[in-house]
Structure 1
């Protein structure tokens, strides 16, 4: 066993087996690689394997900074303008803290057990880092701090599984029953309201953008611009073929009956206007206009909050010619790019069309993302250092010492640098895939280090509380969701699929939104998920020190 007891071997074995376990599916539920890693690390930790605390701190700083960096643009936008959905994140935090306070008083939970219950029931692993840092700052002997941190990891491993099952079952089974809806039918109806072509469209709700060629026929004598304006700019004539050759169309080009026009637009729009044109003809090989995709980050506040259809109506005829929004990514999730979809600052928009059209339209929306895939380590290093310095600041209020700690400081720093990069994407780049790796690897390594540090105290905690922790985790998971369901449906009048997605987001539960999207048959629940996920992903980790302080006050 000496080989397995080597720290490096134990770490990567925990990651490999943990993510393998995380792929196992029970019905529609997967526990995920992070929780699986903790289970394996807890088992290996019984062999006496330990990992340097410095590695644990580095891994968590890397994770929490990347988390803030990717969430920054959406977080500030949602705090400012996404209150209709975002209020549910505050419902989550407030309700969980109230339930946790009651559990501390009734069952005498210690700092570690309360923090683990909070993190596991809310399925927010980042809480472990901020709470662990707060526990380490307590004026207690090292042996007691180690015991509390061990209790935190054990409580999390028990409550996460039950909290995850509770929120998945609630959003996919119980909530639809309480609302009296069929999720698939409600999602299809909502997609049609937003402008989806039909129920049998693409699985992610994104309409196709197509190019087809026709004889000009009935529109002969009119200019390209006049025809496009007559159909409200929903299609663009990109090229005109005449006398055996093709040339780029301009708004002033006057069409003749035998001209061949290459029309670009969403499939439904092209089909709708085809009856106004002559016969469809095949496009000669080699004469197709080169169409490209480019990504931009949406920055302009005047555009944020508009629907895609409104955006096209407000743009001038020249600005909107030949360019379409084909995909929208928000916090790494795909949002349906439908005519009725509301845009948000920080969205990553994929523009589809000719290179000239995209270059012309991009400045009206935001900034083209640089093609470079290199990480700016200058910004990364300075950002984390700034966060660590911020975490050293503290405020003494009576017996309560308030501090962001390492995790909270790095999170706030990441939020700021992420917001800054949105406005100046040419500086401080962390590519999406690189940021995702930093988050996944950083969190998994931190969790593995926590699990490996847990000794026999884990079994003592389980014997002490028995079934109390699983029952509490179900309550702490389901009650905030129930409160949000009532508030979102009765008071805020949020559409059911979006509301269910928002409840999954306030829980920061990726498995839940995956199950919801599968149940819905399209990605409309993601619209609500991204708003509450952005806010809860910041609020919940910041509550780690609050929970530790709360135990000291009322425990």
Structure 2
């Protein structure tokens, strides 16, 4: 019995006993928290945030770990968490600012700005401290990195001191942050009088802002005399559009692969891949759209998705590989992080990309050896970019800089610094032959370990203040959190629909991403068979995450 008491409540008799106590306590908090997070009430669960509530409960009943050890584990967990997020979103971060992505990210910025504005209004209206309001804001949008950034900013500002009310506000607002976001998305469906069937069809065609981030395959019969006898590369220069012709079928013959030098004549049928926004212009230039099934179902050609796993291909362009002349196959599209890209010659490949290869089966098999297609190879972790990136991120986060109007120097901190470095390494690493790819399972493991350590540390440090704060009127914070959740989503949803003319399924994906709210995304994807919510979420999530981390720090530095 004495041994159990020492492990749970600690003992100062020996250093080894204190370490054993800390490890056991952390393990119990994380284990019980994860179990609690899996329990669903009305289809909604706490997820990994259950660890925070269990840590609060343990701390309230006197079970704590050494303050210095807890501080280290909390900060190191936060670094692992935000760095793994940055590596994941880095490859798609800058590509999300293409034409259609700018529209979606403008809407995401509006959601973040409205959330910050609502927080500031409530700060002045209620008289609560800004530390409390930032905690409530982070919980209302389920943004754990924002919580970490706020605590780090406060600690830097007050020389190592913590503000327990940040974690308390987060914990109080989090549950309704999940439920409120989902209910708001559901309310928009009725407020906007959405015709589900018509929206589903439109989402499948990619006719709104997502037209820059999807591809469409179509068959066209050549009938325009202006392109008679021209090569495909000449037509591409004439059209000023990106497209790939995978197959051509001359009248009365079987389909064959098309090359850049292949010439087209009246009556020829070509199968091409392009962005939805370019379909109308290309059909008008070439002739008329026809049924693509006869060419797609032809047994002499196959189409296969191949995974790029060879490090030596990292950063190479499609033009450099010369797969058409060397292997007799054509690459039509590339899938990167769930987004389809037209296979233009200047597109740089990255480890983990999936390329769609078309050609005779034997040729496709030979091309497969070029790309690797070995999941076993990807399972090997690349640790050097991770730890070099973390070191650089901490260095960047420690640099102070001044922003006009703010009395204190600003630091990106242990949340912002590693996040920015990870995004940059994830995006530009392949250009310098740096392999930054990690499998989704490895990235998720790194992320979950980090966030578990962080939330356990936060909970164990905030428990003493949690219950007294609630009894003293802290339950009202739930209403403040609901306002921060619902008002921005509702206003931005109406704006996105009426001003940007966004498809409903694209819209709810963007709103989920702008709220950095995975449960809301899960709800959104369940509403449609299309990828519109997932693509919309992926387009705005990186910028939204960065802005929310930055906003949490700035509010603390300006008002706290």
Pick the aligned partner of 1:72 from 90, 93, 96: 90
| Conserved? CA contact 1:117–1:156, under 8 Å | yes
The Cα shift of 1:86 comes to: 0.6
Q: Counterpart in 1 of 2:391?
A: 385
What residue ranges of structure 1 are gaps of 5+ in the alignment? Answer: 195-204, 208-215, 236-267, 304-314
Supply the distance in 2 between the matched residues of 1:188 and 1:169 (Cα, whole angstroms): 24
Aligned-pair distance for 1:233? 3.1
Distance 2:255 2:450 in 1: 61
Shift of 1:372: 4.0
Residue of structure 1 in register with 2:170 after alignment = 156
Contact 2:89 2:542 in 1 (8 A): yes
TM-score (norm. length: structure 2): 0.72
Distance (whole Å) between structure 2 residues aligned to residue 228 and residue 355 of structure 1 = 26
TM alignment of 1:295-334, pairs within 5 A = 295=308, 321=329, 323=331, 325=333, 328-330=335-337, 334=338
Q: So what's the TM-score if we normalise by structure 1?
A: 0.73
Which of 347, 354, 357 lines up with 1:349 in the alignment?
354
Residue of 36, 51, 63 corresponding to 2:81: 63
SS in 2 for 1:293: strand
Higher helix share: 2
SS of equivalent to 1:455: helix
Structural mapping, 1:179-328, within 5 Å: 179-183=192-196, 186-192=199-205, 219=252, 230-233=268-271, 269-270=292-293, 293-295=306-308, 321=329, 323=331, 325=333, 328=335
Q: 1:185 Cα shift? A: 5.0
> What residue is the counterpart of 1:419 in the other structure?
427
In the alignment, the residues of structure 1 paired with residue 91 and residue 470 of structure 2 have an alpha-carbon distance, to the nearest angstrom, of 41
Distance 1:348 1:177, change over 3 A: farther
Say whether the 8 Å CA contact 2:123–2:130 is kept in structure 1: no
CA distance in 2, matches of 1:378, 1:163: 37
Equivalent-residue separation in structure 2 for 1:89 and 1:506 (angstroms): 5
Residue 318 to residue 428, structure 1, CA distance change in 2 (3 Å): closer
Question: Among 92, 101, 107, which residue is 2:126 paired with?
Answer: 107
CA distance in structure 2 between the partners assigned to 1:385 and 1:83 by the alignment: 32
Q: Secondary structure at the match of 2:502?
A: coil
- Asked if residue 409 in structure 1 is aligned to residue 417 in structure 2, the reply is yes
- Relative to structure 2, which stretch is displaced further, 316-325 or 87-96? 316-325
2:239 counterpart residue number: none
User: How far 1:481 moved relative to its partner?
Assistant: 0.7
SS in structure 2 at match of 1:128: helix
Alpha carbons of 1:73 and 1:221: their partners in 2 closer, same or farther (altered >3 Å)?
Answer: closer
Contact 2:52 2:456 in 1 (8 A): yes
* 2:45 matches 1:30: yes
Q: Are the structure 2 counterparts of residues 38 and 541 from structure 1 closer, same or farther at C-alpha, using a change threshold of 3 Å? A: same
Q: Comparing 178-187 with 488-497, which one deviates more in the overlay?
A: 178-187
User: Relative to structure 1, is the Cα distance of residues 462 and 409 closer, same or farther in structure 2, using a 3 angstrom cutoff?
Assistant: same
Q: 1:550 to 1:355 in 2, by over 3 A?
A: farther
**Preserved contact between residue 184 and residue 519 of structure 1 (Cα < 8 Å):** no
Contact 2:64 2:460 in 1 (8 A): yes
Residues 290 and 457 from structure 1, CA distance in 2 versus in 1: closer, same or farther, beyond 3 angstroms? closer
Q: 2:189 matched to which residue of 1?
A: 176
1:307 counterpart residue number: none
SS in 1 for 2:401: strand
Pair 1:409–1:26, CA change in 2 (3 A): same
Q: Does 1:492 align with 2:500?
A: yes
8 Å CA contact 2:271–2:295 kept in 1: the answer is no
Which of 49, 72, 94 is 1:54 aligned to?
72
Tell me the secondary structure at the aligned position of residue 131 of structure 1. Answer: helix
Structure 2 matches for 1:84-103, cutoff 5 A?
84-103=103-122
1:460 Cα deviation from its structure 2 partner: 2.4
| SS of equivalent to 1:520 | coil
Distance across 1 between alignment mates of 2:177 and 2:254: 67
Question: RMSD between aligned alpha carbons?
Answer: 4.2
Higher mean displacement: 22-31 or 474-483 = 22-31
Q: Does 1:133 align with 2:152?
A: yes
Change (3 A) 1:31 1:234: same
Corresponding residue SS for 1:30: coil
Say whether 1:9 aligns with 2:14.
no
* 1:517 corresponding residue in structure 2: 525
CA distance in 2, matches of 1:224, 1:178: 50
Q: How does 1:448-487 map to 2 (within 5 A)?
A: 448-487=456-495
- Give the length in aligned residue pairs: 467
String of CA shifts for 1:510-535, please: whole Å, max 9, x gaps. Answer: 11111111122332221211111121
**Which among 525, 535, 541 is matched to residue 549 of structure 2?**
541
Report the CA distance shift for 1:501/1:228 in structure 2 as closer, same or farther (over 3 A).
Answer: farther
Q: Is the 8 A contact 2:516 2:544 kept in 1?
A: yes
Structure 2 stretches lacking a partner, 5+ long: 10-20, 208-214, 218-248, 274-290
- What does the per-residue CA deviation read over 1:219-259, in whole Å, with 9 as the maximum and x for residues that have no partner? 46997769999431369xxxxxxxxxxxxxxxxxxxxxxxx
Distance 1:374 1:158, change over 3 A: same
Q: Measure the CA separation in 1 of the matches of 2:303 and 2:503.
A: 40
